[in-house]
Amino acid sequence: MKKKSFFALTISSALLLSSTAAFAEASSTSTKINTSIQDTNDDVSILKDNTSQIVVKEVKEDGITIAKKDKTTNTLTIEKYDVTGDELISTESFDLNELEASALEAQKAQSEPLPIQLQKSNMGLQSAAASKTTMSYQNTFMNREYSISFFKDGKNNWRIRSDDRRKSVTENKSNRSNLSNFRSAVERVNSGELAVISAAGFTTAVTILTVFLSGGLAAGIAVAGAGGTVATALYTVNSAVSDADYYYNRVR
């Protein structure tokens, strides 16, 4: 998915509020989600879901995330804790109405209808005759990305990205497998993102993916709901992001 200007606009317009909310206590009706994600150790559960609030908890190897959506005010609070759940590390609050409004305005600003943009957003392929190269690339909302320059002499130069980390390497026998697996994972991230957009609609999808970037599955599920096509697509994105990060770390 080629990077869209509306995404930057959406993030920059998000209303971030400070908060010191306490750790959410699991209710007696706590329900664990069967994520069916391979290669991840995420444990996602619904702590509360009623007419006024949904609270989702995600336990990962590096910490715990609690996402609380207030259905009355349409705001989301993301709390991140250490692995014990005792120490509150950070808190973010998003005004979901602001996010959706920004996404809608950005969509209107696009010069082409969304379906055409999506058709053009698949894996890019460009030729540069002057430098005798062909370039293949993929960009995603989750910032797991690659670009490959294929030289006619057989040399392939890669630029890969995992969130805020970047590497530039020349493909060789020892790193070829990890680069290929990283590329496949990025393509799965892209497919999952497109599935979220297809199922949720443009403005809602941008809101979901924005909070997912900050709060992972807990935040995404708190906004999207625990079941349905959107949740399934989010699980795909989460698994693919984990795979992309894994292979990024193995590329030398």
Residue 106 has what pLDDT? Answer: 80
Residue 60 pairs in a beta bridge with: 63
Question: Is the Cα dihedral 125, 210, 118, 187 positive or negative?
Answer: positive
Span 120-126, average pLDDT: 52
Q: Which amino acid is at 137?
A: Y
- Within 10 Å of residue 124's Cβ, how many Cβ atoms? 13
Region label for 201, one of left (φ > 0), alpha (ψ between -120 and 50) or beta (otherwise):
left
Residue 226 has what pLDDT? Answer: 81
Confidence at 18, pLDDT banded by 50, 70, 90: very low
Confidence at 128, pLDDT banded by 50, 70, 90: low
Residue 133 has what pLDDT? Answer: 78
User: Which token pair is 45?
Assistant: 């559960």
Region label for 216, one of left (φ > 0), alpha (ψ between -120 and 50) or beta (otherwise):
left
Higher pLDDT, 133 or 67: 67
- pTM exceeds cut of 0.85: no
- Residue 93, Cα to own-chain centre: how many angstroms? 18
Sheet-wide strand order for 124-128: 124-128, 133-138, 144-151, 156-162, 165-170
